[in-house]
Amino acid sequence: MAKVLKSLTLAVKSADAQADIALINQFSKRELTPEEVYCFSVVMCDNDIDRDLERFTNKTLDKLAELFVGKTVIRDHYWSADQQMCRIYACEVQKTTDQNQAGEPLRRLVGKAYMLNTEETKSTIDAIEGGILKEVSVGCRISKKTCSLCGTSFRMNWSSWEYECENHHKKGETYPGEGYCYVNLEDPTDAYELSFVAVPAQRNAGVIKSVTDHEVDDAFDTLLSCPDLSEHPKFQELLKLMQRSTMSAEDRAARKKILSESEKIIKNYERKYQK
Ligand SMILES: [Zn+2]
């Protein structure tokens, strides 16, 4: 199998509020009419091999279809009350006539989401309808990454600094007689959100993958037991990653501060002028 990176066309289509209103009302605080909502369907992810040479298995997609119902749709994976604009009210796996890069029928996870059709949400609705908001990425937690060739777990081998399975297969490599190695994402334990991404940095629907705590603990134990890391070829890379991690923590804190300050200002304004 050739190592190709195929871009995924993320189709956002408006859905039928009239037909879906009963489903939508399962999640709304009060009974809504079809006129009050705007709903759309979106391809969230599929079972194809992505840029990271990872892919959701069919079983994983089925599980994600259950986990995503009721979850929110936000922008840029950014959590704040006013950004939680829509809610997924239905989610299903659809089989297509295309093939994925593993030679299997391509399956896609398609979600339907609704939002209130108001003056405030008009710009978002226009952006969806106009095809401006069309890139999405899913945030979920996956507990197992396995080898496509032998099924054993992938993890960082901290003595060789290679990411490999228990039988030392590495993703992206082809093994004579065995085939091409990629990573299967298995056992999803939670679905966090579907996010519109304003900057189309990722051609495919990206996944926020979190390393299991166990793996990180092991890695830190190994690192901390080394008397000197400076000579290691990957040390600079690690240092950069750690600096980046620290910066994003600062960034998060700054954002939180800005938000709470704005909130105070707005509340103050409302108290004063909007009685
Ligand atoms: Zn393997």
pTM across the whole model: 0.71
| Ligand 1 center from residue 154 Cα (angstroms) | 8
Say which DSSP state 174 is in. Answer: E
pLDDT tens profile 56-114 = 999 999 999 999 988 888 776 655 555 557 889 999 999 999 999 889 999 999 999 99
| Ligand 1 center from residue 153 Cα (angstroms) | 8
Each domain of the chain, given as residue ranges in start order, spans: 12-211, 226-275
The tokens describing 85, both together, are 């604009």
| Contacting residues for 218 by C-beta, under 8 A, at least 6 apart | 158
The tokens describing 71, both together, are 């979850």
| Ligand 1 center from residue 65 Cα (angstroms) | 28
pLDDT tens profile 17-46 = 889 999 998 888 789 999 999 999 888 889
